[in-house]
């Protein structure tokens, strides 16, 4: 499956230290497998995670989330009391970090979407035919640092998604290219299949580049 686009590197992701982000993500990884052994505990944990994440919804930047994290224990206590949640046996620290991780991903997605929409507006004003919506990583450092690129034709939302990541089967680079349908006004991925929809992966960069040019060239014509 083609992986989802990550947040744009221009987003303020760096406002949250890497060690904090890793702690948040690790909490999710530890919390969610509980469903296999304690479904009841898992259900109550998820309820708490979602309630805390909802409490964090007014915070719309990574910096605001980081600031709120300093008072996370008090915030969680307020949420539990207000909603009268059943929390016996729950790991509050784990649930708290998982909630911050959830809201952090939402915030990054919101920021990336706003940036993409601004790029679309600017490209239309310039009279461009295509716009680069997202790009992260570099080809020079891929696949050690995964590379992602998403561009769109403004007229009809024809999108071209390219990526390079590590192939789990060979540990070598995996080159992927996908023709997709995007919303021409926002750059959002649409579920409707387009006539040009196509997805391929390669172990070498040459056929990857050729297919990308072929897809881009096919979509140059109305």
* Structural tokens at position 109: 């997605």
User: Buried b / exposed e across 150-174, counting CB within 10 Å, b at 16+?
Assistant: bbbbbeebbbbbbbbbeeeeeeebb
Residue at a domain's end among 54, 77, 111: 111
Give φ, ψ of 153 to 5 degrees: -85, 125
Q: Which residues pair with residue 136 across a beta bridge? A: 148
Q: Do 102 and 154 fall into the same domain?
A: no
The rounded Cα 203 to chain-centroid distance in angstroms is 25
22 and 103 both lie in a single domain: yes
Residue numbers of the domain that contains 169: 129-218
Strand partners, 181: 158
Cα–Cα dist 35/41, whole Å: 8
Are 102 and 17 contained in the same domain?
Answer: yes
Instruction: State whether 21 and 104 are in the same domain.
Output: yes
Are 105 and 144 contained in the same domain? Answer: no
Strands 173-181 and 158-166: antiparallel
Instruction: Say how far apart CA 193 and CA 58 lie, in whole Å.
Output: 35
User: Per the structure block, which two tokens stand in for 39?
Assistant: 């479904």
Question: pLDDT tens per residue, the chain (222 residues)?
Answer: 333 343 443 344 458 999 999 999 999 999 888 877 888 888 999 999 999 999 999 999 999 999 999 999 999 999 999 999 988 889 999 999 999 999 999 999 898 889 999 999 999 999 999 999 999 889 999 998 899 999 999 999 999 999 999 998 898 999 999 999 999 998 998 877 667 788 999 999 999 999 999 888 765 444
* 31 within domain boundaries: yes
Residue 45 CA, chain-centre distance (Å), reads: 23
């Amino acid at each position: 499956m083609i992986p989802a686009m990550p947040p744009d590197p221009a987003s303020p992701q760096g406002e949250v230290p890497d060690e904090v982000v890793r702690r948040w993500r690790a909490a999710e990884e530890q919390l969610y497998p509980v469903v296999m052994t304690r479904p009841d505990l898992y259900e109550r944990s998820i309820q708490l995670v979602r309630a805390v994440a909802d409490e964090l919804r007014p915070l719309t930047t990574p910096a605001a989330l980081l600031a709120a994290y300093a008072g996370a224990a008090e915030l969680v206590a307020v949420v539990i009391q207000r909603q009268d949640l059943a929390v016996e046996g729950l790991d509050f620290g784990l649930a708290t970090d998982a909630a911050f991780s959830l809201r952090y991903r939402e915030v990054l997605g919101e920021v990336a979407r706003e940036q993409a929409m601004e790029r679309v507006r600017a490209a239309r004003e310039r009279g461009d035919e295509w716009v680069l919506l997202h790009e992260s990583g570099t080809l020079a450092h891929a696949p050690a640092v995964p590379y992602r690129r998403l561009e769109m034709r403004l007229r009809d939302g024809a999108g071209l998604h390219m990526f390079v990541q590590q192939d789990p089967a060979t540990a070598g680079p995996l080159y992927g290219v996908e023709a997709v349908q995007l919303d021409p006004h926002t750059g959002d991925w649409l579920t409707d299949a387009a006539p040009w929809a196509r997805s391929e992966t390669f172990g070498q960069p040459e056929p990857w580049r050729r297919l990308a040019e072929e897809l881009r060239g096919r979509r140059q014509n109305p």
